[in-house]
Amino acid sequence: MLFRVHSLPLPRRMRRVDTESQRVTSPPGSVVRRLAVPGGVLAAVAGAFAYVAAVDPNEPGHYPACPLLQYTGVYCPGCGGLRSAHAFAHGDFAAALQANALAVVAYLVFAVLWTLWVVRSVRGRPLNLDLRTVHLWGIGASLFVFTVVRNLPFGGWLHP
């Protein structure tokens, strides 16, 4: 399985050659056009973090309860994710790790991948995430192990 995030390269007719350096350059508006999608993704994520930062998930009634936790008492991999995002947005990284360590790792992975996406978009290259089946199984296994360990007695430090 192959996942790709594309930033479309410019057609040849839209590229210009700088006569002094003999380098191919892009028209002025094309970089802005290539950064529109990464910018939109960043705006959506920033908006979601701003909302969670403003509306405290520790106060009852603001967000729905996790159905798995409510009906079975088992913490899912996402339990504590909103509390983690709230603490992360307020700069309390210790509390964010305590609420959901996996979510903090996901925030950092997103930041790295988004930065790579922007850099490659500016350069006119697509971001190729070559995720094979083994990678997806590894991610699934990590989620499974995290879920099992946080629900065992010795994994109490992973409880939200």
Query: Rounded to whole angstroms, how far apart are CA atoms 99 and 73?
Result: 16
Residue-wise pLDDT tens digits, 83-101: 999 999 999 999 999 999 9
Query: Rounded to whole angstroms, how far apart are CA atoms 53 and 58?
Result: 11
SS (H, E, C) 97-121: HHHCHHHHHHHHHHHHHHHHHHHHH
* Predicted pLDDT of residue 54: 94
pLDDT in tens, the chain (160 residues): 445 555 555 555 555 555 555 555 555 558 888 888 999 999 999 999 999 999 999 888 888 888 988 999 889 888 999 999 999 999 999 999 999 999 999 999 999 999 999 999 888 888 888 889 999 999 999 999 999 999 998 887 887 8
* Predicted pLDDT of residue 154: 87
CB 9 within 8 A of CB 127: no
Residue-wise pLDDT tens digits, 103-131: 999 999 999 999 999 999 888 888 888 88
Residue 14: count of CB within 10 angstroms of its CB: 11
Query: Rounded to whole angstroms, how far apart are CA atoms 1 and 23?
Result: 36
Residue ranges per domain, the chain?
3-158
Radius of gyration of the chain from Cα atoms? 21
User: Which of 34, 35, 38, 40 shows the shortest CA–CA distance to 8?
Assistant: 34
Packing angle, helices 36-54 and 81-89, rounded to 10: 100
Dig out the tokens for 113 from the structure: 């991948």
